[in-house]
Amino acid sequence: MSVLKRTYTVVKEFFIKYPAVLSGYIIYLYFFFATMDFYQNVKDESHSVLDLFQNFDALLWMWLLSYALVKIIDYRAKLLQREKDEIIRQREIELKETQLNTLHEVVRALQHDINNPLTIIFAYSRKAERSATENPEVLEFIKEIRESADRIAKSLADFSRAQTYQTVTTPFGPITSHGKENVPS
């Protein structure tokens, strides 16, 4: 019984993979029987063009149906492939969203560790600013240090305050947008 089942499975998979072969077998099997019937009718009695048409009229329809069968199977295969591609694309988007959420959590955890040194930078830059009032070049360096530290602190605060990320698929690929309207650059 298992040999018969394996044979059936192999034949079934072959005809699913090559549906034109199955439709060809059906068409030419019908053609064989129609031809045998036509020869039998010719042998027994006289024939006309109408008899010829009556014997082979279904052959054209069978060819059309087999063509439609092949097109339907091709369409289903393309549809299945499209669904698989969509599932893969959705998984990639979910993975990117998970990665962004993980990054968000890491930044929130590190924000405290980064804010402490930034506070020290702010405090010492103000102290250095007060003590170097007569040197404009040093004041400019201190101002740049303070502004850079301020930008870091604001970026971390904006990033940690954002609660959502949205991934949007565009013709150029997926784009992840920040939950806030204005993201500092």
Digit-coded pLDDT (tens) for 95-124: 998 988 888 788 777 777 787 888 888 888
State if pTM tops 0.85: no
pLDDT-derived band at 84 (thresholds 50, 70, 90) equals very high
Using a pLDDT cut of 90, give the percent of the chain over it.
Answer: 11
Looking at residue 161, its pLDDT comes to 72
- Say if CB 160 and CB 107 are below 8 A apart: yes
Average pLDDT value for residue range 160-169: 63
- Say if CB 38 and CB 56 are below 8 A apart: yes
Reference 156, options 100, 120, 106; nearest CA is 106
- Residue 154 exposure: Cα atoms within 13 Å on the Cβ side: 10
10-14, 19-23, 26-30: least confidently modelled range = 19-23
For the four alpha carbons of 74, 79, 83 and 85, in that order, the dihedral sign comes to positive
